[in-house]
Amino acid sequence: MANLNVKTTFNTILSLQSETLGKRILAFVIDSIIIIVYYVGVWWFLSLFNIDFERAFGDDYDRVVWGWVSIISLPVLFYSLISETLSGGYTMGKYLANIKVVKIDGFQPGFVEFFIRWIFRMVDIYAMVLLGIVFGDVMLRIFSFYTIGLIGLICIVRSRRGQRLGDMVAGTSVIKSKLKQSINITILREVGDNYKPKYAQVLKLSDNDARIIKETFESARKMRDVKLIRKLVVKLETVMGIKNKDKPERFINDVLKDFNYYTQNM
């Protein structure tokens, strides 16, 4: 298991723990089982209607069956893309294996990053299978199914960040999702019961963003690095879509308090 030290957009070093190859394989197996169960369930449901497609559609039988298969396969085709986008980096397999997709700059991946990873699945996971189906004979096609994920596995093993091709292009990695943090990292700023937040835009920040802000801010204050504090303010203004009219240190303190207030009450 490798430790990934990456410089974030908040100008601090974030330590990521890349997960073992075994857990990524486990997650893929779980997701594959879910897909198989889905197909079996759909075909069992359709069998209840006892439809004779060949007799009902005659010469159009092949086209109708192909159309039905295409429609039924849509959820499978977009399974990982939709799951990771909606959950912020998980499929069911990744969730059960306690791993998730993150950006290596410390931020939560967006749709573009998840889309790139999804597109490259064809290369990382299914490239050899597709080549076998298109250009191979029967034996080569059968053999190609044993090479599922081969390119991705080679890239993960060779990459110091445990990245497959899709991760390298998207700027993401797969890490352990349940990292134990100290109390100084998890607690941001104490807020009272009567506290009134100023910036609802803090909801645009993730837990990881808030942690990075806190670490960077405290480090800059200790070093009396005014320039770094100003850069942090500018970055927060950009991410949150606001314009600060307060003193830099007070602004950052308020952002951390507001984040703590909103996340405690969600």
* Domain ranges, ordered by start, for the chain: 3-176, 183-264
In angstroms, the CA 149 to CA 99 distance is 18
Mean pLDDT per segment of 10 residues, for the chain of length 266 residues? 51 53 92 95 86 70 81 93 91 92 78 95 89 79 84 90 91 75 47 78 81 84 88 89 90 88 68
pLDDT at 1: 47
Q: What angle do CA 53, 57, 63 make, to 5 degrees?
A: 85
pLDDT at 159: 86
Task: Give residue for tokens 């806190």.
Answer: 214
Q: End-to-end CA distance of the chain: give it in Å, rounded.
A: 34
pLDDT at 188: 53
* Tally of helices (H runs) and strands (E runs) in the chain: 15, 4
Beta carbons of 239 and 203 less than 8 angstroms apart = no
pLDDT at 35: 95
